[in-house]
Amino acid sequence: MNYQLKKFSDLIKESKEDSVYKMPNASANYGEDSETGKYLCNECVKFIKFEDLSKQQQEYITENYPDHKGWNYGICTNVGLYSDEKSSMISGDYGSCQYFFGGDNAKPNNINENKISKVTANYQEVKDSGLEGFGCSRCEFFKEDNKPCAVLKEAVKTKGCCSAWTNQKVDHFKDVKK
């Protein structure tokens, strides 16, 4: 089979113009499990808070991320490879990924040994975007509560979110740029 890869920006353009970029709810991981509708790591069951990290991990964060309290750095049980400490740091206050699952935070003994990279998880941060989080209400494809989304073509809620989330204020590929 011959697959043609397209840039995500081209898919966004096509979706807005022709409504050809359609993704069913199941494959887009659509959900409504964030109490605030912000879908930030600090609301996810996979996020391990700073205070629950080992002393060594806390010292590393304190030394290398002086503003860590403002970012609420921690570690995800499933995202962020351990090849180096920086790639394993996750921002509780500004980060999220397509594997978000709302609920009480994890504990250090819950870490998955087969973690995936931030790029694979589509991990993003909204710190410099002016946005207060992720979710349908902040997505370019969102039209109105309980109305069909431009991507999913099904009704979504203001406090919902999916893995097709996008907003031009966020640099989605900053971690992969050289």
| pLDDT computed for residue 33 by the predictor | 86
Query: What is the average pLDDT score of the chain?
Result: 76
Residue 119 pLDDT more than 70?
yes
Read off the pLDDT of residues 28-83 as tens digits, 9 standing for 90 and up. 778 888 889 999 999 999 999 888 888 887 887 788 776 666 678 888 988 886 55
Between residues 131 and 88, the one the model is more confident about: 131
The tokens of 14 are what?
């096509």
Phi-psi domain of 72 (left: phi exceeds 0; alpha: psi -120 through 50; beta: other): left
Report the pLDDT averaged over residues 118-146. Answer: 88
Contact of 61 with 68, CB cutoff 8 Å: yes
What residue ranges do the domains of the chain occupy? 17-156
Read off the pLDDT of residues 68-80 as tens digits, 9 standing for 90 and up. 666 788 889 888 8
Read off the pLDDT of residues 87-113 as tens digits, 9 standing for 90 and up. 677 889 999 998 888 889 888 887 787
Report the pLDDT averaged over residues 142-155. Answer: 88
The tokens of 60 are what?
């590393």
- 119 φ, ψ to 5°? -65, -45
Q: If you count them, how many residues does the chain have?
A: 178
